[in-house]
Amino acid sequence: MNNTNAFDYIVIGGGSAGSVLAARLSEQENIQVCLIEAGSSDETPRIQTPAGTITLYKSQKFSWNYYSTPQPRLGNRHIHVPRGKALGGSSSMNSMIYIRGLPSDYDLWEQAGCEGWGWQDVLPWFKRSEKNLLQQDAAYHGVEGELLVDKPRDPNPVSALFVAAGVRAGLPENHDFNGPALSGVGIYNVTQKEGQRLSSYRAFLHPHLGRSNLTVMTDCQVETLIMDGKTVQGVRVIAAGETHATALRCRKEVILAAGSIGSPHILMKSGVGPRAALAAADVAVVHDLPGVGQNLQDHLDGLVTVRSKSALTLGFSLAAWKPILTAPFRYLFARKGWLTTNYVEAGGFASTPLATGEPDIQFHFVPGYRSHRGRLFEWGHGYAIHTCVLRPKSIGSLRLGAGKQLEIDFNFLADPYDARVLVEGIKTARKILAQPEFAALRGEEMLPGKQVQSDEQLHQYVKEYCATVFHPVGTCKMGRDAMSVVAPDTLKVHGIDNLRVADASIMPTLISGNTNAPSIMIGERAAEMILRGGTLASTTSNKERAYA
């Protein structure tokens, strides 16, 4: 560990991308690396046990618990935005689903001016990270990486009913959503090791904490970047319990990996962002960069939730006393039982009538009752399908408010197309749940409810109840246009020296699925850029190295 306050590289954020970055950079013994994480240790069963994820989303300790500004097209509702606040970041609180999205997602990035980020360019880096335990197609999967990809240890039998019902409803069964096709229904692959969560931190960084050139600082929040003109010289941080900021100096670079909410927030607090917005927040403008905090995108989600009397589903009732009481013992001794669930064990991708070829909706099936009142727990049993819009057209933004606090405006349903797709997606979800496979479990549909049938009624339901599945991206997008924040070939912030961004915020458009795996890929590529000369071009000859 470095006993001074100077490092070669300072990585801000110990999440999906930041943990990879710190691990890869510190492989070089002559490089001093410091990782700064605002959250604390992940040493708790709430994080390590898969079923503990349900306790994390509104945790005062492990979640940032952001809320959006009132959304005018959603009845002025404030949308909850949980982001991970611990080593591992959001990969320490997510549902552990391993999804990459469509090849066309990345080809679209390349077509938008992000040369070197097409599907054939990024696939080797996905494969480099992955240790696939399922003997899936080697053309798409790696087997020597640190991130274990496995099947759920003990999926609830109702998850299999969902898959069978989806097939009967006309969707193909898909055994590998990261293989040649995305469409269909199936049991999701998860990032777990022997039935425990495998966050990016646990996979990549935790095994190497003994490195003498690696310093990991937890409970340490970044106040601002230290700037000399337009050159970053370090960061000011406030440790837990401290009242005064400490300066950490970088000899080479600072890399922002604080996520799509945290990274633009730090930039704006440091005077890098849209001039008028910074001035309005009483922040001295260091560099006018209009795209910072803009281009916010997230998957809009709608819920169908059904009550059931069947104790086969996850839930709390007198009839379920046996699986509840035996769950700790089954998990401890066999990694089986209720505590193994990630709650969204099954799901899939489908095309609504509005799709133009590729799937435009994703399902997350829950073999338990999702509260129609928004509660964490409800007494009784049931099942639910979350349906989200894969490529929404509504674009939001972040800005600084009073006291430099962040204001998050998703601008949901600004484009009516998103509501139309979600309505069609809810119809598809209902079609799956209407199949005979659910006959023995069927009960009352609580949301949207049997009285909600017409398109007009479903549109109103979407406005009153839709939320997100927690996949914000795009707020420091890479590109060459006037609204881009980082250069595609370096991930360096336009107009600022010694500063890069490497996390989901650089995505110019939202990918078709869960964002953890793509964020890890971004961390891999950023580290390789730095280690191989600082640019994307310098990594081209090392593609084979990525999955050799």
- CB-CB neighbours of 67 under 10 Å: 13
The closest alpha carbon to 509, from 532, 480, 479, belongs to: 479
265 annotated active-site: no
In a domain, 69, yes or no: no
Query: Which two tokens mark 492?
Result: 């360096």
DSSP-based three-state secondary structure for 527: helix
DSSP line for 95-159: --B-----HHHHHHHHHTT-TT-SHHHHHHHHHHHEEESS---TTT--BSSSEEEB--SS--HHH
In a domain, 38, yes or no: no
Q: Do the beta carbons of residue 177 and residue 97 sit within 8 Å? A: no
Name the active-site residue from 265, 364, 372, 471.
Answer: 471
DSSP-based three-state secondary structure for 458: helix
Q: In the 8-state DSSP scheme, what is residue 65?
A: -
* Structural domain for 314, as ranges: 153-187+300-389+413-465
Distance separating alpha carbons of residues 172 and 434, to the nearest angstrom = 17
Q: Which residues of the chain have pLDDT under 50?
A: 538, 540-548
In a domain, 123, yes or no: no
In a domain, 394, yes or no: no
In a domain, 335, yes or no: yes
In a domain, 506, yes or no: no
Question: What element of type H or E holds 233?
Answer: strand 231-239
DSSP-based three-state secondary structure for 453: coil
Can you give the pLDDT at residue 403? 85
How many independent structural domains does the chain possess?
1
Can you give the pLDDT at residue 546? 42
Residue 406 CB partners (closer than 8 Å, separation 6+): 66, 261, 265, 398, 399, 400
Distance separating alpha carbons of residues 158 and 166, to the nearest angstrom = 12
In a domain, 315, yes or no: yes
Q: Do the beta carbons of residue 259 and residue 86 sit within 8 Å? A: no
- 143 marked ligand binding residue: no
- CB-CB neighbours of 58 under 10 Å: 12
Can you give the pLDDT at residue 542? 45
Q: CATH number, domain at 361? A: 3.30.410.40
Rounded to 5 degrees, what angle do the CA atoms 366, 39, 70 make? 60
In a domain, 249, yes or no: no
